[in-house]
Amino acid sequence: MVRTGLSALLMMGTWAAVGPIQASAADSPSSAEAQASAGIITAMQRDLGLTKSQAEARLTAEKAATSLQGKASGAAGASFGGSWFDAESGRLTVAVTDPAKVGDVRATGARVQVVDHTARELDATKKRLDALSAPSGVSSWHVDPRANSVVVNVVASEQGDNDVRTFVAKARKAGPVTVKQTAEAPQTFAAGTVGGDPYYTGNVRCSIGFSVHGGFVTAGHCGQAGGAVRGWDGSAIGNFQGSSFPENDYAWVNVGSGWWTVPVVLGWGTVSDQLVRGSNEAPIGASICRSGSTTHWHCGNVLAKNETVNYSQGAVRQMTKTSVCAEPGDSGGSFISGDQAQGVTSGGWGNCSSGGETWHQPINEILNRYGLTLHTA
């Protein structure tokens, strides 16, 4: 019987022990296949409605767009209004407020859109919203470069609530704001203890995110600093060395007691496991996949960045929103784009039967906060 819990990978201690990504004799790996396992390609076909060649082409285009972001934003200078990946054209689009900068940005290879507000202005508006107290009927808010405004998401059934209307009125005074409806309020994805899953702390089951040198990162709401962590088999893994929730939703756990770390994201026996090679941040619009102990592999798109999510326990800031589904027990699990680590699962709404949205805490913020180094292949 093949063990799909991450602890099995950790105790093996080597990539070779769990099996390398292999191509059939009839196929030679493309550039897209070199950066993503067949499992990610399969999941993108299932969840994004793509053919195999379309998924491979999209990953190649997204990698190019990710590499272009810094150069293109630098060309825009102070007039930079944000950027995003457009799946239809396969190119990065950069917003600018100064028409004189259009040529400079186009020269980098990016598409250009002229807008009214700079990214700095939009960030300042969002910061003013962050200072407000939000009622439960307000789901989240984020800077949307495509809309060139701050988008406030309101739970549809709560839009007539007086507290919600008051918050929206204050938000509109803060700067350029667009109000949208969402189906449900967000919640974290921790779950009660069940057998055969990656790790437990107390009576909570969560999912391992990414291996770092000396341990792994996961969601902060899964446990507090000092809390003991057990593997799927009940054996001790280590302890939470740091944890933050709310305001943030990240934590890291040291690994010992015979456990090892490897730069791998699980495919759960249904798709190939994925090697982790870095943590370059994918742009808005890029495809992204998630691995968790409850719902395993699912894919979607990056919808927004730097979003403030209003959980019942308190607001969590600087989150990335995706169209990927998740369910209780998936908390802390891996978000990956191609072979680049993106973040750890925090929460969302919906499920993997009817769909929904899920947020992750960006991986680079976690690494910087705790001075950790991502374990890469």
Residues with active-site annotation: 221, 249, 331
CA–CA distance, 246 with 174 (Å, rounded to integer): 24
Q: Would you say the C-alpha torsion 5, 270, 23, 3 has a positive or negative sign?
A: positive
Nearest to 264 by CA among 363, 367, 377, 364: 377
The answer for residues whose C-beta is within 8 angstroms of residue 283's C-beta and 6 or more apart is 62, 65, 66, 69, 83, 84, 85, 92, 302
Cα–Cα distances (Å) from 103 to 82, 100, 107, 121, in that order, read: 16, 7, 6, 23
CA atoms in the 13 A half-sphere facing the CB of 57: 10
* CB-based contacts of 259, cutoff 8 Å, min separation 6: 7, 10, 11, 231, 237, 238
Element (DSSP H or E) covering residue 199: strand 199-201
* Cα dist from 56 to 22, 36, 66, 72, whole Å: 16, 9, 15, 24
Residue 331's SS3 state is coil
